[in-house]
Structure 1
Amino acid sequence: MTTIHDAKILDITKVHDTRGNLSVVEGNAIPFEMKRVYYLYDIPSGGRRGGHSHINCQELLVALSGSFDVILNDGSEQKTVTLNKPNQGLLIPNGIWRELENFSSGSVCLVLASEVFIEEDYIRNFEEFRLSKNRIS
């Protein structure tokens, strides 16, 4: 069973140049094959995203611009991770509830996902999530 301790910050390769930095995700930089890429932006002040868990999907979240907080919950413990560097990503394994909040103005959250969108992979009710974690343990 996954816990919040399985979520971790991954360093993304950063190539520094006098013209600016370049970061790249390729090869085995992340522990899954990317099947979907999407990004969140223009989040209104006080807005929140996430509010779900995945049954199978793993994700890597990257703050391409600005910053935001990711609140992780495994049904027993909770922790908050602030993302604010475009050369670091938060790896979130399946089975972890996530909420995103405190978006700075102009922030952009890139998400690399291990699965294509399948609604049945989402648990969107926190109480159902907690019950599913209790059945597994």
Structure 2
Amino acid sequence: MRTKLLLAAAATLFTLTATAGPQGAGTERVTVVGAQPQQARMAPFMFDNVQGRYELDDGRMLTVTGKVDGRARTLYADLGDGPTEIIHIGKNRFVAMGKDLRFAFERPNSRRLPDTVRISSLAGRQLALAQR
């Protein structure tokens, strides 16, 4: 009985020692995937109204274009570095997929077309202001 107990304890100690040591140190890769923003339903008129060219306060141009594929509508924002898909998250707000950018389209109450776009980081720091 005592021998079985000693063998079990030795096996447990050996197992714990083997798993506690570094395994493949320096060769493991950790991939962190952030939460995807929740997409909100976008009215057809909003899809049409946000498209256009906006002059940024730093001299660059923001171009928002759309693509329709059957019933799917996709918007893209281009700040001069190539188009990036943006998704509607509600209340005239969009986020860029794969980038730290948020777009808030603002329009006066009397107009349907937005005339101002505030571009900020996801943390809320304003990066640019655009006028149509």
Instruction: Bin the TM-score by the shorter chain.
Output: under 0.3
Larger radius of gyration: 2
Higher relative contact order (CA 8 A, sep 6+): 1
